[in-house]
């Protein structure tokens, strides 16, 4: 496989990234990821971004399946190759089935999702499309995600991984070398097929 292109803000090499990560308490495993090889050029920012990720991924109250469905939906809706590809691997390690992950693309027409799944997927779409979760969908979240902290994390997870999808695309962060994009079949969502058009050209 060809060496991937660099990001708009050039990535640190692995030794530089690990050294920067060690200075601010970012785990070495995160420093090896392309996104943190970029973010660690701003060490304090990278440390704070990692802190939120650590909380949501490792200490969160929200069920991991629901979290990953949110992330995969965002990756697909926002055309973030890196987010979809990386969290495909995370979700599979959590034993979320390939069929469920593929169905996220057109979840409204799928019978693979239960009431809680559908509530967080609807919340994701509404936030991306309208900027907020509707009252009807929030009622579904209250009915299916009984823990108050987990409900807060639904909102924060949507915001966090929407931010990541945007920064990954805007900074053109490449996948790690040797990783194939858009698993399992290479299908690409509509936003990823269209280049970003500058408002300066309008």
Distances (CA, A) of 94 to 44, 174, 181: 30, 24, 20
pLDDT category at 182 given cuts 50, 70, 90 is: very high
pTM: 0.94
pLDDT category at 199 given cuts 50, 70, 90 is: low
131-142 pLDDT tens trace: 999 999 999 999
- Residue 7: pLDDT over 60: yes
The stretch 99-128 carries a mean pLDDT of 98
Whole-number Å distance between alpha carbons of 183 and 181? 6
Whole-number Å distance between alpha carbons of 55 and 46? 14
What whole-number percentage of the chain has pLDDT above 90?
90
The stretch 26-38 carries a mean pLDDT of 97
Domain ranges for the chain, please list them.
Answer: 12-59, 63-186
Homologous superfamily (CATH) of 63-186 is AhpD-like (1.20.1290.10)
């Amino acid at each position: 496989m060809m060496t991937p292109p660099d990001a708009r803000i050039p990535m640190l090499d692995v030794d530089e990234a690990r050294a920067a990560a060690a200075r601010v308490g970012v785990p070495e495993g995160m420093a090896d990821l392309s996104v943190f090889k970029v973010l660690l050029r701003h060490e304090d920012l990278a440390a704070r971004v990692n802190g939120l990720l650590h909380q949501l991924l490792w200490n969160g109250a929200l069920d991991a399946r629901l979290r990953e469905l949110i992330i995969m939906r965002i990756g697909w809706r926002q055309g973030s190759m890196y987010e979809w590809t990386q969290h495909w691997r995370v979700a599979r390690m959590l034993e979320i089935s390939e069929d469920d992950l593929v169905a996220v693309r057109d979840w409204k027409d799928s019978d693979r999702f239960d009431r809680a799944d559908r509530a967080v997927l609807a919340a994701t779409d509404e936030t991306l499309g309208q900027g907020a979760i509707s009252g009807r969908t929030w009622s579904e979240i209250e009915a299916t995600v009984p823990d108050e902290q987990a409900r807060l994390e639904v909102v924060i997870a949507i915001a966090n991984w929407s931010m990541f999808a945007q920064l990954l695309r805007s900074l053109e962060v490449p996948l790690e070398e040797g990783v194939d994009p858009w698993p399992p079949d290479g299908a690409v969502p509509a936003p990823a097929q269209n280049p970003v058009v500058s408002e300066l050209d309008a």
